[in-house]
Amino acid sequence: MTNTTFGLSKTLIQENTTLNPYRLVKLGTSQDQVVAATADTDVLFGVTDESADATAGNPVNVIFSGIVKVTIASATTKGAYITATTAGKGAATTTNLKKYIGILLETTTGTDQPAQVLLCPGQMSV
């Protein structure tokens, strides 16, 4: 895997214990809190770095732009648009009106494999 590069990031607070490294996040219920995104309809806010530790109340660095590692739930071909699935993991989507965080830059061959994603959030329009 090549180097990860990112620009904009911010330290936020883990709202609960489901947040792990390289996971997609959405806004939490309180200001400056984030939780794991779990659905392709969530507004995808960013990706956690290695500082996420599944401890509620702890700080976590969230990356908003650049090329970052995302845990991909299953084997996926590069070029896929990545959305959220269980526990903030990434999964491919081609479904109209589903939200995505970016484009997968390398093929994954197994489950829960970290892979590089170019962050360019949007919504599918097919």
Burial group, residue 31, by CB count within 10 angstroms (0-12, 13-18, 19+): exposed
Tens digits of per-residue pLDDT, 85-94? 999 999 999 9
- The CA distance from 68 to 64, in Å, is 9
Domains of the chain, by residue range, sit at 5-63, 66-123
Domain 5-63 in CATH 2.40.340: yes
Segment 110-122 shows an average pLDDT of 97
pLDDT band at 78 (very low <50, low <70, confident <90, very high): very high
Examine the pLDDT at 12 and tell me if it is beyond 50: yes
- The CA distance from 110 to 113, in Å, is 6
Segment 81-85 shows an average pLDDT of 98
By DSSP bridging, strand 9-14 and strand 33-36 are: parallel
> Residues with Cβ < 8 Å from 32, sequence gap 6 or more?
12, 13
**The pLDDT value given to residue 3:** 54
